[in-house]
C-alpha cells in the first residue's frame, strides 16, 4: 500500500491548503490556519467560499482555485462536504489529504457509506487520505503541525527529538502532545493521529517511522490492528533496533464496543494480540501514563544499554529512604526483575563510604552516608555500583529540596555514560524542586519519575530492549 | 498497652523539650527547634550542654534543668547517648519522649541491645517512647510538627484536615508530608512516623486515630505488623466507619530483608496479610503513589456514598476523548468494576443533548455535544447520568485548556452532592491549567488525577468503602 514518497507529502509538504478555514476564533478551522501560518515554513492556502482573506492571507473559494498545486490539503468541513472537497482536490492535482472531520464510520452505516464514497474518489485520483476523524500529524523537522487545537508558537516549544508517536485517537494525541510539549516531557520526531484510517493505517505509518532516520523509537496507542500480519512483520523488523511500545485499547468486550463507536475499530482477540506483541519484542502497557512515561525514557535513550549479567535483569537501588527501598524492591520483584547481590568488592568499596555501624547491602540506603559526606556520596556510591558486574541497571531515589543545588549531576552523568548501563530516577519531597531536578537529570539522559511504579517500568523497558538487541546481535 | 491519655501527650503537649538542639543550620537539631518555635503555641525548651541560647531561646544543659516539666521531649542525639537522656527525662518527670535518632535495632545486635536498655529505663519511669529511628509526628489541630527537616511556616501551609497518616519510615513520611503540603494535595489531621516502634506501635496509633474525632480516614505504610491479631481487631472496628488504606512493604523475600535492615521489621507471610486485610475491609495498595492518591480521595470525602445497584460497582464515564473512554473501560474491567448499561430514560435525555448522528452510550463521549452546546454540556450530561439507577459512580475526563474558565464547576458539584454518588476526575491536556482545575474541583469535593489508573483506583476505593458501610448497616 503506497510507498515512502506518499507519506513524505504528509510529513514534509512544500505547501498546505486548509479547507474549512475560518476567521471565527472559536472554530478548529481558525486554529488550523493560525497554527500553520506560525509554524510552517512554506505557503499556507486558506480555503473557504465565504471569505476573501483569513489572518491576512488570501482565502480561495476552492482548492482548484489556488494558483499553486498545494502538496497537502488539510480538510475540516462537515462530513457530508468531504467527498466534494476530495473531488476538487483530485481535479487540482493534490495527492495528499488529511481529513480531520468526524461523522464517518464511527457513527454508523451512513458514515461508513460516506467513507466508501470518499475512498472511491481518492482511488480514482490517486489521492492518499489520512483520517478521517483525526487531528492529523506533527513533524518537528521540517516543522508541520495539523491538529485543529490552537497551539501558539508550537514550533518554538516543540524541540525536535527522536520519538515517534502513533495514536488512533485525535483528542488524545493532540491533548498529550500539548501536555508534554508544555511540560518539556520529551522530544518528538513525528506524532501521527490516524483516526479511522480509511486509507493510511498504523502499519503504513509504523513502516515509515521504522525507516525514518530521525525516529529512533515509537510509542503507539491503537484501538485495532486490521492488518495484523503486516503489523507484526514491521514490528519484527524493528526488534532490537528501535524500541516499540504499544497501548492497545479494547481488551475487554465493553471497551471493544467503545472502540467501535470511537474509531469504527474491531478490537480483536486480546490474547492473540498479547502473544503476537511478545513475539516481536514490543513492550505492552495498559495506561496512557505508562505509554508516555516509556516514551520519555526512550526519547532520552533509544539505544540499547550494556548488560553485565546473563539474564540482563539485575537491579541495584540507591536510596535516601529505607521505606522507598523496600517498596521499590517489591515492585521490582513484581515485574520479574532481580535485586543484585552486590559483589564483595563493591561492598568493600561502599563500606569505606558508609558509617561503620552500617553494613552496605542492596537496596543501598545512603542517607547516613550523605549526612556524613554530603550529596557527593550519591555519585561515589553510583560509581561503585555501576562497576559491579552483577548490576545491569540502577534506580536512584533522592529527596528533593533546596539541597539538590549540590547534587552531583555531572559526575553521575559521566558515570552512567562510562558504564553504558541503564539508570533511572524517582524523586519525592518538595515538589518545587522537581522541575529543576528533572531538567538537570535530563541533560544527563536520565529519566525522572514521581511514582515508583513508573520508575520500575522504565528500567524494565530499558533492560528488555537491551536484551532484545543483544539477542538480535547473537542471532 | 497504654491508654489514650498517653498519646494525647504526644499529639497535644503543653510544652516541648528538644534534646540535641543546636544553632548549626545544617543539623536536624536546628530544624527541630526552628520548626517548633514557629509552629507550636506552647513553650519550646532547647536542650544542649554546649549552648546558652538557640534562636533567641534559652538553652538548658539537660531536661532536668528546665524549670518546667516539659510534657513532651523530642530527642535527636547519637544513639549511644539516648539511654542517658531517657534517664534524665525520667528524673525530670517527662512521660512522653519521641526518639528520632537512628542507630538502633535497624543496624544489628548492638543496636538491639541499646533499644532494650532504653526500654528498661522507660518502663522504670513510666515513660512512653515514640520511635526510635523516625521523624515523629504532626498534628494539625492543635499544631505540632516534629520532623527534623526544616519546613518554614509549616503551620500556615498545612491546613487542618481529616486524614490520618501512619508511616513506618521517617524520610518517607516527612518527604511526602512536605511534597503534598506544598502541592496542597490533601488535608491531614495527624501524621505519624513510627520508626522502629520500640514501645508505641502501629496498633496503638491506629487505635488512637480510630477514636480521634478529627480523623475520618487513615492511610498506613507498614513494614511489619507484629501484633497481627490486635491490628486486625482495630482495623475491624473501623470497617465501614473510617476508610483504612494499607501499603505493606516487604512482600517479597528480598524486600523483607530490606525492611529488616531499615526498621528491624519482620515482614511476615504476605498471603496471611493479604487475607487478613481483605477480611477487615481494608484497602490494599502497592505503591506510595497509590497510597497518597487514595489519601487524597478520602481526605475529600471520608463518608460512604449512596449506591444504587445491588453490586454497588456500576460505573459511567463522561469523556471528551473516545480513546480515553476505551482505555478507562479496560482499566475499570481490570479492577472488577462494571460499565453501567444506561437506562433507556437516560439515553433519551442524552439524545436530546447530543447531535442526531451520535447515539449516546457508556462511555459517554461528549466532545461533539460540547462543540454544539459548550462546556455546560458536562453538567447536563452528568446530571442525567447521576440520576440513572444503574450508575453508582462516575469518572469525568475533560480536556485542560483556557476554556476551563467556562467549566460548570458549581453545577457539577451540586449535582454530585444531590446524588450522593461517587465522582472522580482525570485531566489531560495543557498542564498549565491542571492546578486551577484541581483546585476548583476540590472545592466541589471531587478528586482529580492525571493518570487513568489512579482515577479508577480512587473510584474503586470509594465504592468499596461504601459497600462496606452498607453491609455494616445491614448487619
CA–CA min distance A169, chain B (Å): 6
Write down the pLDDT at residue A458. 98
Write down the pLDDT at residue B475. 42
β-strands A314-319, A364-365: how paired? parallel
Phi, psi of B302 (to 5 degrees): -80, -10
Tens digit of each residue's pLDDT (9 = 90 or more) over A425-435 = 999 888 889 99
Residues in contact with A190: Cβ distance below 8 Å, sequence separation at least 6, in sequence order: A11, A137, A138, A139, A140, A164, A165, A209, A212, A214, A215
Contact list, A111 vs chain B (CB under 8 Å):
357
CA distance A39 to A35: 6
CA distance B438 to B300: 12
B-contacting residues in A 143-162 (Cβ below 8 Å): 149
Is the predicted pLDDT of residue A267 greater than 60, yes or no?
no
Write down the pLDDT at residue A274. 81
CA–CA min distance B106, chain A (Å): 9
Say if the Cβ atoms of A330 and B431 lie within 8 Å.
Answer: no
Say if the Cβ atoms of A263 and B327 lie within 8 Å.
Answer: no
pLDDT band at A163 (very low <50, low <70, confident <90, very high): very high
CA distance A452 to A324: 8
CA distance A333 to A240: 24
Tens digit of each residue's pLDDT (9 = 90 or more) over A235-245 = 999 999 999 99
Is the predicted pLDDT of residue A192 greater than 50, yes or no?
yes
Tens digit of each residue's pLDDT (9 = 90 or more) over A311-366 = 999 999 999 988 899 999 999 999 999 999 999 999 999 999 998 878 899 999 99
Query: Who has greater pLDDT, B197 or B271?
Result: B197
B-contacting residues in A 318-337 (Cβ below 8 Å): 320-327, 329-334
By the CB < 8 Å criterion, does B411 face chain A? no
Q: Do B188 and B140 contact (CB within 8 A), yes or no?
A: yes
CA distance B344 to B347: 5
Write down the pLDDT at residue B381. 97
Contact list, B263 vs chain A (CB under 8 Å):
322-323
- Partner residue facing B323 (CB), from A221, A333, A430: A221
CA–CA min distance A461, chain B (Å): 19
Contact list, B452 vs chain A (CB under 8 Å):
287-289
pLDDT band at B169 (very low <50, low <70, confident <90, very high): confident
Looking at residue B304, the DSSP 8-state letter turns out to be: P
Write down the pLDDT at residue A171. 67
Write down the pLDDT at residue A473. 81
pLDDT band at B174 (very low <50, low <70, confident <90, very high): low
Cell 483530485 belongs to which residue? Answer: A90
Write down the pLDDT at residue B258. 79
How many other C-beta atoms can be found within 10 angstroms of the C-beta atom of residue B58?
12
Is the predicted pLDDT of residue B10 greater than 60, yes or no?
yes
Question: Mean of the per-residue pLDDT values for chain A?
Answer: 92
Write down the pLDDT at residue B14. 97
Phi, psi of A365 (to 5 degrees): -90, 110
CA distance A147 to A135: 4
How many angstroms separate the first and last alpha carbons of chain A?
A: 30
Residue of A373, A379, A347 lying closest to A361 (CA atoms): A347
Is the peptide bond preceding residue A127 cis, with omega within 30 degrees of 0? no
By the CB < 8 Å criterion, does B22 face chain A? no
> What percentage of chain A reaches a pLDDT higher than 70?
94
Q: Is the dihedral of CA A208, A210, A215, A221 positive or negative?
A: positive
B-contacting residues in A 351-370 (Cβ below 8 Å): 357-359, 361, 363, 365, 367-368
Phi, psi of B62 (to 5 degrees): -145, 170
CA distance A72 to A139: 14
Tens digit of each residue's pLDDT (9 = 90 or more) over B249-260 = 888 888 888 777
Tens digit of each residue's pLDDT (9 = 90 or more) over A72-88 = 999 999 999 999 999 99
Tens digit of each residue's pLDDT (9 = 90 or more) over B203-223 = 999 999 999 999 999 999 988
Strand residues in B48-142 grouped as ranges (E): 53-54, 57-58, 72-75, 96-99, 128-130, 136-140
CA angle A426, A432, A438 (to 5 degrees): 40
CA distance B161 to A171: 37
Weakest mean pLDDT among A9-13, A133-137, B16-20, B113-117:
A133-137
pLDDT band at A262 (very low <50, low <70, confident <90, very high): low
What residue ranges define each of the domains in chain A, with the CATH number in brackets?
4-299 (3.40.50.261), 304-474 (3.40.50.261)
Cell 497554527 belongs to which residue? Answer: A35
Weakest mean pLDDT among A181-195, B55-69, B326-340, B415-429:
A181-195
Write down the pLDDT at residue B182. 63
Quickly list H helices, A158-201: 170-183
CA–CA min distance A256, chain B (Å): 7
Question: Mean of the per-residue pLDDT values for chain B?
Answer: 92
The set of cell numbers assigned to B22 is: 543546636
Is the predicted pLDDT of residue B19 greater than 60, yes or no?
yes
Tens digit of each residue's pLDDT (9 = 90 or more) over B222-263 = 888 888 889 999 999 999 999 999 998 888 888 888 777 666
Is the predicted pLDDT of residue B122 greater than 70, yes or no?
yes
Say if the Cβ atoms of A428 and B357 lie within 8 Å.
Answer: no
Strand residues in A398-437 grouped as ranges (E): 399-400, 422-426, 428-429
Write down the pLDDT at residue A265. 57
CA distance B277 to B266: 17
Q: Do A327 and A455 contact (CB within 8 A), yes or no?
A: no
Is the ipTM value over 0.90, yes or no?
no
B-contacting residues in A 429-448 (Cβ below 8 Å): 429-432
Tens digit of each residue's pLDDT (9 = 90 or more) over B432-451 = 899 999 999 999 999 999 99
The set of cell numbers assigned to B329 is: 473501560
Write down the pLDDT at residue A185. 73
Write down the pLDDT at residue A2. 54
pLDDT band at B150 (very low <50, low <70, confident <90, very high): confident
Write down the pLDDT at residue A475. 42
pLDDT band at A169 (very low <50, low <70, confident <90, very high): confident
Q: Do B69 and B14 contact (CB within 8 A), yes or no?
A: no
- pLDDT (average), residues B307-313: 97
Q: What pTM, to 2 d.p., does this model score?
A: 0.91
CA distance B164 to B172: 15
Looking at residue A304, the DSSP 8-state letter turns out to be: P
- Partner residue facing A252 (CB), from B289, B333, B359: B333
- pLDDT (average), residues B179-197: 82
- Partner residue facing A431 (CB), from B179, B221, B331: B179
Residue contacts between A and B (CB atoms, under 8 Å): 221
Weakest mean pLDDT among A2-6, A374-378, B67-71:
A2-6
Phi, psi of A159 (to 5 degrees): -70, 145
Write down the pLDDT at residue B350. 96
Tens digit of each residue's pLDDT (9 = 90 or more) over B21-52 = 999 998 999 999 999 999 999 999 999 999 99
Is the predicted pLDDT of residue B2 greater than 60, yes or no?
no
Q: In 3-state terms, chain A is what percent helix, strand and coil (to 5)? A: 45, 20, 35
Write down the pLDDT at residue B173. 65
Strand partners, B144: B139
CA–CA min distance B339, chain A (Å): 7
Write down the pLDDT at residue B118. 98
- pLDDT (average), residues A143-158: 90
Q: In 3-state terms, chain B is what percent helix, strand and coil (to 5)? A: 45, 20, 35
How many angstroms separate the first and last alpha carbons of chain B?
A: 30
By the CB < 8 Å criterion, does B403 face chain A? no
pLDDT band at B177 (very low <50, low <70, confident <90, very high): low
Judged on CB neighbours under 10 Å (0-12, 13-18, 19+), A248 is: buried
pLDDT band at A249 (very low <50, low <70, confident <90, very high): confident
How many other C-beta atoms can be found within 10 angstroms of the C-beta atom of residue B238?
21
Q: Do A401 and A430 contact (CB within 8 A), yes or no?
A: yes
For the stretch A38-41, contacts whose Cβ atoms lie closer than 8 Å and that sit 24 or more positions apart, written own/partner, are: A38/A152, A38/A153, A38/A154, A38/A155, A39/A143, A39/A144, A39/A145, A39/A153, A39/A154, A39/A155, A40/A16, A40/A143, A40/A144, A40/A145, A41/A142, A41/A143
β-strands A53-54, A57-58: how paired? antiparallel
Amino acid at each position: 500500500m503506497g510507498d515512502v514518497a506518499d507519506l513524505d507529502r504528509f510529513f514534509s509538504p512544500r505547501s498546505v491548503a486548509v479547507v474549512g478555514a475560518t476567521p471565527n476564533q472559536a472554530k478548529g478551522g481558525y486554529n488550523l490556519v493560525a497554527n500553520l501560518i506560525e509554524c510552517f515554513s512554506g505557503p499556507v492556502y486558506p480555503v473557504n467560499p465565504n471569505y476573501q482573506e483569513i489572518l491576512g492571507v488570501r482565502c480561495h473559494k476552492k482548492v482548484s482555485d489556488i494558483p499553486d498545486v498545494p502538496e497537502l490539503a488539510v480538510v475540516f468541513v462537515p462530513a457530508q462536504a468531504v467527498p466534494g472537497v476530495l473531488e476538487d482536490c483530485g481535479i487540482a492535482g493534490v495527492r495528499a489529504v488529511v481529513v480531520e472531520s468526524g461523522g464517518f464510520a464511527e457513527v454508523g452505516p451512513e458514515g461508513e457509506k460516506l467513507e466508501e464514497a470518499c475512498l472511491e474518489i481518492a482511488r480514482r485520483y490517486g489521492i492518499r487520505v489520512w483520517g478521517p476523524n483525526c487531528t492529523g500529524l506533527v513533524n518537528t523537522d521540517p516543522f508541520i503541525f495539523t491538529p485543529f487545537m490552537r497551539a501558539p508558537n508550537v514550533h518554538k516549544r516543540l524541540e525536535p527529538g527522536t520519538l515517534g508517536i502513533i495514536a488512533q485517537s485525535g483528542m488524545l494525541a493532540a491533548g498529550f502532545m500539548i501536555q508534554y510539549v508544555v511540560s518539556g516531557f520529551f522530544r518528538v520526531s513525528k506524532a501521527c493521529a490516524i483516526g479511522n484510517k480509511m486509507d493510511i493505517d498504523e502499519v503504513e505509518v509504523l513502516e515509515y517511522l521504522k525507516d525514518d532516520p530521525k525516529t529512533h523509537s515509537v510509542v503507539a496507542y491503537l484501538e485495532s490492528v486490521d492488518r495484523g500480519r503486516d503489523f507484526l512483520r514491521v514490528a519484527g523488523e524493528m526488534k532490537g533496533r528501535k524500541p516499540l511500545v504499544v497501548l492497545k485499547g479494547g481488551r475487554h468486550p465493553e471497551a471493544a464496543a467503545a472502540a467501535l463507536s470511537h474509531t469504527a475499530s474491531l478490537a480483536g482477540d486480546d490474547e492473540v494480540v498479547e502473544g503476537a506483541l511478545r513475539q516481536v519484542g514490543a513492550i505492552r502497557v495498559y495506561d496512557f501514563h505508562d505509554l508516555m512515561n516509556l516514551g520519555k525514557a526512550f526519547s532520552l535513550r533509544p539505544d540499547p544499554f550494556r548488560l553485565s549479567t546473563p539474564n540482563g535483569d539485575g537491579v541495584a537501588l540507591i536510596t535516601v529512604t529505607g521505606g522507598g527501598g523496600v517498596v521499590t524492591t517489591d515492585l521490582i520483584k513484581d515485574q520479574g526483575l532481580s535485586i543484585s547481590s552486590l559483589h564483595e568488592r563493591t561492598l568493600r568499596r561502599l563500606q569505606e563510604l558508609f558509617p561503620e555501624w552500617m553494613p552496605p547491602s542492596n537496596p543501598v540506603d545512603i542517607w547516613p552516608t550523605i549526612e556524613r559526606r554530603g550529596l557527593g556520596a550519591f555519585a561515589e556510591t553510583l560509581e561503585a555500583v555501576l562497576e559491579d558486574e552483577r548490576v545491569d541497571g540502577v534506580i536512584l531515589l533522592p529527596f528533593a529540596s533546596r539541597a539538590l543545588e549540590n547534587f552531583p549531576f555531572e559526575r553521575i552523568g559521566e558515570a552512567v555514560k562510562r558504564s553504558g548501563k541503564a539508570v533511572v530516577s524517582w524523586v519525592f519531597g518538595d515538589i518545587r524542586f522537581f522541575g529543576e531536578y528533572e531538567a538537570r537529570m535530563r541533560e544527563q539522559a536520565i529519566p525522572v519519575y514521581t511514582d515508583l511504579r513508573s520508575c520500575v517500568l522504565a528500567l524494565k523497558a530499558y533492560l528488555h530492549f537491551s536484551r532484545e538487541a543483544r539477542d538480535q546481535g547473537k542471532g
